[in-house]
Amino acid sequence: MLPRDLPRDQVLPFARRAEALGFDEVWIVEDLGFRGGIAQAAAVLASTARVRVGIGLLPVGARNVAFAAMELASLAELFPGRVDAGVGHGMPGWMRSVGAWPASPLTLLEEYVTTLRSLLGGTSVDVAGRYVQVDGVALDPATVPPVPPSLLLGVRGPRSLALSGRVADGTILAEPTTPEYARAALRAIDAPAAHSLVAYNVAAVSDDEGAALAQAREGLAWIGEPDWRPHIDPLPFADEFAALRAACATREEFVERLPDAWVRRLAVAGTPPQARATIDALFAAGVTSAVLTPLGADRIAALDSLATVL
């Protein structure tokens, strides 16, 4: 994962270092107030030679679907076979703050992704939906990508996961993704064909297990807010987790009181063999891409530690 707050002079060196270390993918987030997803993806693709670049994710309320198709088609045309595009509802608070949260987020998402797929495939599209209106729009044949980008939905709720199973090539699960959460999500997705599952997790790897777990805690501060309940509910300690979160006055107190055993379950953290075992358990649960978010003051150096699990 390309951290959203990297200093500008570290963004491209981070991506190049990830590729040099042997990572297969670099994923880019688009969080309100930080750098844009399309711009970052273009820069990373142009500065690397092999690594796939995933955008996870573009909020559908933020861009007209035809213009989003133009941007994604441009990336896929210029860098064929190296682009995965994630779209989703976006964080409700952020989208409301810019006046882009619809009355029916699920309707918008379905209209948007089905239209986007058609446009990226070179089809002339006519749509008169509740939110998406497109009248005879098509990409110029010269700009239709030879390999359309994979379309993934970054979603949480059961109805949105089911939609992803019907209309998308894959699903992006936000952190923390445990094997239990991955299996529960796949049951809700219930895809009729091959379907990729991208799993985000904060990660800290060190020969000193205690140091790795201590560092992982900083990435878990937000876990336990209401939006994260689907991630926690499948876990055997879900009730105890909720009680602990409710008993803590601050996020800092919460992460300080998290038992080490829970940190191990909620992050890819520990010694290289321990972290690798966590990743293997995710793959065994159906995850196809394990995305690790590096922590610490020097995220480029953290890449070297994470690479010990490859």
pLDDT of residue 225: 73
Instruction: Look up the pTM and report it.
Output: 0.97
Residue 242 falls inside a structural domain: no
Q: Return the CATH number at 37.
A: 3.20.20.30
pLDDT of residue 175: 95
Residue 224 falls inside a structural domain: no
pLDDT 10s digits, 183-242: 999 999 999 999 999 999 999 999 999 999 999 998 998 887 777 889 999 999 999 999
| Cis ω before 57 (30° cut-off from 0) | yes
Residue 257 falls inside a structural domain: no
pLDDT of residue 223: 85
Residue 99 falls inside a structural domain: yes
Cβ neighbours for 242, distance < 8 A, ≥ 6 positions apart? 224, 232
Quote the domain boundaries for residue 203. Answer: 8-210+266-309
Residue 250 falls inside a structural domain: no
Residue 231 falls inside a structural domain: no
Q: Which amino acid is at 80?
A: P
Residue 64 falls inside a structural domain: yes
Which stretches in the chain have pLDDT values below 70?
none
pLDDT of residue 114: 98
CA atoms of 278 and 199, how far apart (whole Å): 12
Residue 166 falls inside a structural domain: yes
pLDDT of residue 226: 72
**Residue 116 near residue 90, CB atoms below 8 Å:** no
Cβ neighbours for 83, distance < 8 A, ≥ 6 positions apart? 41, 45, 52, 53, 54, 55, 72, 75, 76, 149, 150
Provide the 10 A C-beta neighbour count for residue 199.
Answer: 28
pLDDT of residue 61: 97
Domain count, the chain: 1
CA atoms of 282 and 272, how far apart (whole Å): 15
